[in-house]
């Protein structure tokens, strides 16, 4: 059974051809199937909905502004244990932890700060479902699982 996760390659990655290519290679080399992809500049409304659980955090405004600052590449990825597998590839959220103890992860290589941490990945099947519905409105999750 192939699990789905939502991956976002954040604006600073999309602006950097080397980082973008390297992350795409990692996605393919780690046997993720790319189920859907779109490049879009996330709107403020979408970012606020997407990150609503963080709305009281000190970094919320900078996070929302950054995510709307330019195009992101948004992918639905499928793999066995896709959620955990993608999060392992990404590495720790905090950039100092990523660079210090996981330098070969995506965030270790391309994270610039705790906000500009290169990529996003869903943290649970419930989040994946919610996040996919925000950015791929016509994606029929039930149909996808039924067809497996």
With contacts defined by CB under 6 A, name the span among 21-29, 78-86, 113-121, 124-132 that binds ligand CMP. Answer: 113-121
Catalytic residue among 54, 75, 80, 120: 120
Q: Are 34 and 73 in contact (CB under 8 A)?
A: no
* E strands present in the chain: 3-9, 33-40, 72-79, 119-121
Tokens representing 1 are 């059974």
Residue 39 vs 145, nearer CB to ligand CMP: 39
75 a catalytic residue: no
Q: Which residue has the tokens 């996330």?
A: 42
Select the residue interacting with ligand CMP from 4, 14, 23, 63 (CB under 6 A): 63
d(CA 119, CA 145): 25
The DSSP bridge partners found for residue 76 are 6, 36
**If binding is defined by CB under 6 A, does position 96 make contact with ligand CMP?**
no
**If binding is defined by CB under 6 A, does position 59 make contact with ligand CMP?**
yes
**If binding is defined by CB under 6 A, does position 115 make contact with ligand CMP?**
yes
Which positions touch ligand CMP (CB under 6 A)? Answer: 54, 59, 63, 93, 114-115, 117, 120
Residues marked active site are found at 120
């Amino acid at each position: 059974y192939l699990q789905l996760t939502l991956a976002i390659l954040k604006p600073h990655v999309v602006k950097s051809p080397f980082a973008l290519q390297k992350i795409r290679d990692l996605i393919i080399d780690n046997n993720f199937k790319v189920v859907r992809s779109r490049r879009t500049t996330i709107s403020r409304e979408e970012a606020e909905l997407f990150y609503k659980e963080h709305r009281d955090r000190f970094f919320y405004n900078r996070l929302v502004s950054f995510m709307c600052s330019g195009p992101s590449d948004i992918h639905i990825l499928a793999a066995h244990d896709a959620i955990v597998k993608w999060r392992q590839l990404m590495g720790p959220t905090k950039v100092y932890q990523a660079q210090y103890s996981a330098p070969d992860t995506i965030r270790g290589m391309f994270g610039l700060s705790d906000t500009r941490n290169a990529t996003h990945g869903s943290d649970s099947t419930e989040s994946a479902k919610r996040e996919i519905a925000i950015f791929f409105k016509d994606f029929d999750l039930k149909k996808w699982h039924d067809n497996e």
